[in-house]
Structure 1
Amino acid sequence: MPDFDAMMKRQQVLGDFGEFVLHSQDINQVLQEACRLVGEALSTGRAKILEIFHADRQLLVRAGVGWDPGIVGKIRLPLEEHSSETFAIEAGMPVISHDISKEERFQILPFLREAGVVALVNAPIFLPGGRVFGLLQVDATEPRDFHQHDVQFLRTYTTILGSVIDRLLLGRTLRSTEERFRLTVEQVRDYAIFLSDPQDRITDWLPGAEAVFGWTAAEVIGQSAAITFSPEDRESQQDRWEAETACRDGVVPNVRWHLHKSGRRIFVEGSTRALYDEDGALLGFLRLGQDVTERLMSEERLHEEKERFRLLVENMPQLVWRSGDEGNWTWASPQWLDYTGQSQEQTHGLGWLQAVHPDDREATMQAWHVARDQNGLDVEYRLRRASDGAYRWHRTRSVPLHDSSGSSRSEDRVLEWLGTSTDIDDLKRLQERQGVLVAELHHRTRNLLNVAQAIVMQTLGRQATPKPLIDRLVALGRVQSLIGQDREDEIGLEEVVRLELRSYGGDENGRVTVAGPLVLLPGERVQDLALVLHELTTNAVKHGALKEERGQLEVRWVVTQDGDRGPMLVLNWRESDVVMPADQSRHGYGRVLIERVLSRSTGSRTLFTLGADGVTCQIEMPLLSRSLGEMAPLRPCTV
């Protein structure tokens, strides 16, 4: 049995340790003081606490007295299978080595021998719940008999120490959690978070609340939470109803217009939650909400845009639809549904194709296959009208809507296709009728020219030679025949030139060259140009290159740009190796026609020259479309 003084000393140590831990929250200080006091209680002057790290199977010298600075907080010891430290932890009870030089049960750690330790006792430190924190190791530098009363003291001491360590660890964790919570809450500026007492007076006003509502904490602490409600909601006591509902149900949605410090309205989505203690007493209320005013306004604008789009689509005469690639429809307008009799679901995918005439489906899908490469869809097909089963022609056009997230247009992703189908059945019938009428008109014009030719010949009889006049009438007839063909009212310049030369055999002559790009001319210009070419050709046959055996004829043209007049056709007629007459002063009607007819009808410029070895004629004609005022189509062509 220990003497009375030793027992009182140990009681004093326990009291001093208890008083110390009441005033310290620093676990390192507490562990260090625990080592000092236990060394004093057992009169060894040396002790240490080893913290266990289970994952690494190691012990860290966490605190200690009587040890060199290079030991405490730095040295880590392996949990050897046959060490006294491992045995004490696994057995859950103190283990004594009276003289380590004679110890045969356990392997003694080398650093203990090096430090002069002769005897030691290991006492495990358990946290509440039986978790092992580590070991309290009391060391003696001389042989020492640790008695049973020493072991019981250490068990009491480590039990108290385990509870203290657990409290300090929990406190540190709690403080860390609270600090993280504080930092998190203070950084959350998108959400208004504030607390109120049971009377709904504001007690905590976090930075997010100031960011959303505008008031500072100093301005609102102690104020009623109703300060954030709109005047009409306060008047109808919505704030009181919200608090009472939260008390009854625990939480209530807080989704309404609120008031900002500036007086403007903000729309907040959030909730009000009642807070209770363990005994069920009301502590107050937690209000949390997000300012969604801008989102609400955007949604309202989007809804208005959708409504305007719906009204526009539903009042258009066209049939409107939306589609993915390759004609996979996703939506059809009410006009389409009414016209075809299909349901919305029946149009999805390629279901809409059932309303297309069977003979037109292949061409329709072919147009879809190339639509993406051509950046648009333009196709005509017949649609079945549900009201009478008739098929009517429709022209369908669509353009892709791109997601412009790529670096170039080719990388843009096609979101969808938006298209319309327009009824053109009546227009096509009118066009067909117009084609018939135009063909009839040209036919009658040719007949009139034949009649005029016959009248001229009957009138003049043998009194004069009507051949030049007759030839001109025949030339007009040839042009009318060319215009009368189905050519979309445009005729190639090369065809007009060769037609005139062919009429006199010049086109087959190896001495004639015709070359230039493909130029399409409207019908009304072809007639005047053909008369000029007729005069040039007949002159070449009578007097020039097409009469002389060595004569050469070149007809070439190019397209140039004139700053004021736009695109211009420049045609050059050049004869060479021709024996020219000595007297070149006589000007006939043909030359007058060449120099004046185009100038008056088309605004062209004509330069006719009698050169030393043949005729040259240059014609500059504007290439503006008759109806649209645009450049006539030009396509490169090698003659």
Structure 2
Amino acid sequence: MPDLDRMVKRQQVLADFGELALCSLDLDRILAEACRLVGDALGTGRAKLLEILHAEGQLLVRAGVGWDPGIVGRLRMPMEEHSSETFAIAAGEPVISRDIGKEDRFDVPPFMREAGVVALVNVPIFLPGGRAFGLLQVDDTRPRDFGEDEIQFLRTYANILGPVIDRLLLARTLQSTEERFRLMVESALDYAIFLADPQDRITDWLPGAQAVFGWTAEEVGGQPAAITFTPEDRASGQDRWETETARKEGVAPNIRWHIRKDGSRVFIEGSTRALRDPDGTLMGFLKIGQDVTARRDGEERLRESEERFRQFSEASSDLIWVRNAGSMELEYLSPAFETIYGGSREAVLKGGTVQRWAELVHPEDRERALSMIYRVRAGERVMNAFRIIRPSDGETRWIENTDFPLFDNKGRVQRIAGLAKDVTEARMSSARLQVLVEELQHRSRNLIGVITSVASRTLGEEGGAADFQARLQALSRAQGLLSQFGSDTAEVGALVRGELEAHTEVRPPKVAVSGPRVLLTARQVQNFSLALHELTTNAVKYGALRDEAGQLSVTWAVDWDEKGQRRLTLDWIESGVDLQPDRITRRGYGRQLIEKALAYALRARTEFVLGEDGVRCRIQLPLE
């Protein structure tokens, strides 16, 4: 029979532990006290509780008494096959080692030998349902033969520990879940969450509801939930319909405009859900809704934008197309495709590969057209003209494409798109017009030639007649340049060089010519070319081009006048010439042309100076 005092003491231990378990939810404190109580009850003053870490296959010294602080809560033991701990858990029964110095059944962890442990007993702890939690391990520094009464006490103690640990683990999980839920609810500020009683009066107003609607919990407590509805919805009974539907069917949709405290409106997507207790009695309503006003506005703007694009593309006579940059499949093709390409838009969209489109392109233009598409895929913007052969009538048509990449928010090409225009008629008209203009230019040059011949036979080839013929030839050269540059413009550099080359060799340092590319209109070319002719012939007769001593510099640039209009400024500078200007008294035709005719006909500003070393002339001509 066990000693009565020991029995009473152990009963007291069980009672003390039970009281602690009832009044505390601190698992670590309870486990530490459990170790202390059992160590005192068995007179060892040393015990520990080992928790199984299933994922790691280890045992953690979760709590203990009589052990170094560096052991408790930190030390982990592998669940090895030959350990007494592993065997006790697997067998589900206590395992005793009376003297580990003589133990040949199990391996003893080194830290226990170092701590002076000689005898120990392992008692497995199981949670309700039979899942192993760990071990209660009592240690002694002397050889000890644990008696049957001690083993039964430890089994009873472990059986009490299991449900207590399970309850505290569940409580901790529940507390953690509730805390996560609280944090989630309080952080979801774009979700209006609140509770109402069976009469639909607000009872709980969470932070998200305040953020969305603007009222505080104190302001709405006890108020009808209908205060969040718009006046027109309240008038039509939508608030009552929602609660009645939730009452009958369990849940009702809540997707409509609502009103805020400041009178502004907010669009909510949510629901009203009936809350009932286990016997079915209605406890109230849970209302959850997300503020989607910004998203809805964005979607509405997107719909409007898409509708504008659709109307624009369907009304446009130009073809609008969009391809996926990855697959190169067509995603959009405007109705103008059928007019331009003469095929079914739906049929092309179904098999909208690049190869299928390329089959419509003229064989001579196909490779270049495909290369342009892939350049756009690489991020370029290109303009391209090519021919197609329409399958409907076999007609060849000219197409002008403006193709460009469409980027995503990371700067990657997501789609490629383009505008295609049928320019067949425009090209034909342009070609016909070019032929007519070239014919007109040819006839004009022939007419000037006839006039020159008539003047020569009538007036002779000397004196004023020679000057007249030279000026006619200058006009003929200008007409030739107009034809060369496209009939309605001519380039300043070509006019200057053409006139100089008609009289001398243009080579530095004798003659220096420089300036940017500037185009003059047909109206400006004739007077400007005559002015150049007069300057050149004067330089040949009297100035820098008369002998080897003189030098000529002709430069021009584009700048802005005081009214902000672009203008051409040309400087004609001769040097190295002995003109003796005091002997020149007559103003010839050339100077009058420069100083008066240019100002009258072209609104030009001119400066003509006869210096001792040659002519200096500046012509400032407004550009059209």
User: TM-score if structure 1 supplies the norm length?
Assistant: 0.76
Q: Which amino acid aligns with 2:289?
A: G
Match 1:487 to one of 461, 485, 488: 485
- Native 8 Å contact 2:544 2:552 kept in 1: no
Q: Which amino acid aligns with 2:291?
A: D
Equivalence for 1:191? 191
User: Any idea what the Cα deviations from partners look like across 1:124-183, whole Å, max 9, x if unmatched?
Assistant: 333223333344455678887654344333323321232222222222232233223222
- Native 8 Å contact 2:475 2:526 kept in 1: no
User: Any idea what the Cα deviations from partners look like across 1:208-267, whole Å, max 9, x if unmatched?
Assistant: 222223333344455554444444545555455545555666555432333333443322
Q: Say if 1:45 and 1:558 are closer, same or farther in 2 by CA, change over 3 A.
A: closer
Q: Which amino acid aligns with 2:521?
A: P
Q: Which amino acid aligns with 1:124?
A: P
Q: Say if 1:242 and 1:545 are closer, same or farther in 2 by CA, change over 3 A.
A: closer
Match 2:620 to one of 595, 619, 622: 622
Equivalence for 1:634? none
Equivalence for 1:171? 171
- Native 8 Å contact 1:339 1:387 kept in 2: no
Deviation at 1:82, TM superposition (A): 6.4
SS of equivalent residue, structure 1 residue 128: coil
Q: Say if 1:336 and 1:115 are closer, same or farther in 2 by CA, change over 3 A.
A: closer
Q: How does 1:311-390 map to 2 (within 5 A)?
A: 311-323=311-323, 330-340=331-341, 341-344=343-346, 346=348, 348-350=352-354, 351-362=356-367, 364-365=369-370, 376-382=381-387, 390=395
Q: Say if 1:57 and 1:291 are closer, same or farther in 2 by CA, change over 3 A.
A: closer
Question: 311-320 or 26-35: which moved more?
Answer: 26-35
Equivalence for 2:130? 130
User: TM-score if structure 2 supplies the norm length?
Assistant: 0.78
Equivalence for 2:606? 605
Distance 1:295 1:108 in 2: 66
User: Any idea what the Cα deviations from partners look like across 1:383-410, whole Å, max 9, x if unmatched?
Assistant: 66788765454544355555576xxxxx
Segments of structure 1 that go 5 or more residues without pairing to the other structure are: 406-411, 630-639
SS of equivalent residue, structure 1 residue 93: coil
Q: Say if 1:374 and 1:440 are closer, same or farther in 2 by CA, change over 3 A.
A: farther
Deviation at 1:325, TM superposition (A): 6.8
Distance 1:509 1:115 in 2: 108
Q: Say if 1:448 and 1:5 are closer, same or farther in 2 by CA, change over 3 A.
A: closer
- Native 8 Å contact 1:61 1:71 kept in 2: no
Q: Say if 1:469 and 1:134 are closer, same or farther in 2 by CA, change over 3 A.
A: closer
Q: Say if 1:46 and 1:71 are closer, same or farther in 2 by CA, change over 3 A.
A: farther
When the two chains are superposed, the root-mean-square deviation of aligned CA atoms in Å is 4.7
User: Any idea what the Cα deviations from partners look like across 1:330-382, whole Å, max 9, x if unmatched?
Assistant: 42212233443331451644344555555554554565566689964333445
- Native 8 Å contact 1:356 1:384 kept in 2: yes
Distance 2:271 2:239 in 1: 12
Distance 1:241 1:509 in 2: 97
Deviation at 1:318, TM superposition (A): 3.1
Match 1:559 to one of 549, 557, 560: 557
- Native 8 Å contact 2:608 2:615 kept in 1: yes
Number of aligned residues: 611
Deviation at 1:524, TM superposition (A): 3.5
Distance 1:492 1:368 in 2: 34
Deviation at 1:294, TM superposition (A): 1.5
Q: How does 1:523-542 map to 2 (within 5 A)?
A: 523-536=522-535, 538-539=537-538
Distance 1:119 1:428 in 2: 108
Q: Say if 1:337 and 1:144 are closer, same or farther in 2 by CA, change over 3 A.
A: same
Segments of structure 2 that go 5 or more residues without pairing to the other structure are: none
Q: How does 1:409-420 map to 2 (within 5 A)?
A: 412-420=411-419
Q: How does 1:196-235 map to 2 (within 5 A)?
A: 196=196, 201-234=201-234
User: Any idea what the Cα deviations from partners look like across 1:447-472, whole Å, max 9, x if unmatched?
Assistant: 5545545665676689x966335424
Distance 2:508 2:159 in 1: 124
Q: Say if 1:256 and 1:141 are closer, same or farther in 2 by CA, change over 3 A.
A: same
Q: Say if 1:49 and 1:282 are closer, same or farther in 2 by CA, change over 3 A.
A: farther
Q: Say if 1:24 and 1:621 are closer, same or farther in 2 by CA, change over 3 A.
A: same
Distance 1:429 1:368 in 2: 26
Q: Which amino acid aligns with 2:617?
A: I
Distance 1:108 1:372 in 2: 71
SS of equivalent residue, structure 2 residue 215: coil
Deviation at 1:290, TM superposition (A): 0.9
Distance 1:118 1:353 in 2: 90
Distance 2:491 2:596 in 1: 23
- Native 8 Å contact 1:252 1:273 kept in 2: yes
Deviation at 1:301, TM superposition (A): 1.8
Q: Which amino acid aligns with 1:435?
A: Q
SS of equivalent residue, structure 2 residue 133: strand
- Native 8 Å contact 2:337 2:345 kept in 1: no
Deviation at 1:87, TM superposition (A): 4.9
Distance 2:455 2:230 in 1: 100
Q: Which amino acid aligns with 2:526?
A: Q
Distance 1:417 1:116 in 2: 79
Equivalence for 1:516? 514
User: Any idea what the Cα deviations from partners look like across 1:450-507, whole Å, max 9, x if unmatched?
Assistant: 5545665676689x96633542464256336525634223334455455555656x44
Equivalence for 2:21? 21
Q: Which amino acid aligns with 1:318?
A: D
Q: How does 1:270-285 map to 2 (within 5 A)?
A: 270-275=270-275, 284-285=284-285
Deviation at 1:535, TM superposition (A): 4.1
Q: Report whether the alignment pairs 1:268 with 2:273.
A: no
Q: Which amino acid aligns with 1:176?
A: S
Q: Which amino acid aligns with 1:158?
A: A
User: Any idea what the Cα deviations from partners look like across 1:565-612, whole Å, max 9, x if unmatched?
Assistant: 744343426375779899644555455445544444332425253747
- Native 8 Å contact 1:605 1:621 kept in 2: yes
Equivalence for 1:148? 148
Distance 1:86 1:400 in 2: 67
Distance 2:507 2:203 in 1: 109
SS of equivalent residue, structure 2 residue 483: coil
User: Any idea what the Cα deviations from partners look like across 1:20-56, whole Å, max 9, x if unmatched?
Assistant: 43233333443455456556666x3746342234546
Deviation at 1:296, TM superposition (A): 0.7
Distance 1:577 1:277 in 2: 117
Q: Say if 1:197 and 1:621 are closer, same or farther in 2 by CA, change over 3 A.
A: same
Q: How does 1:438-453 map to 2 (within 5 A)?
A: 438-450=437-449, 452-453=451-452
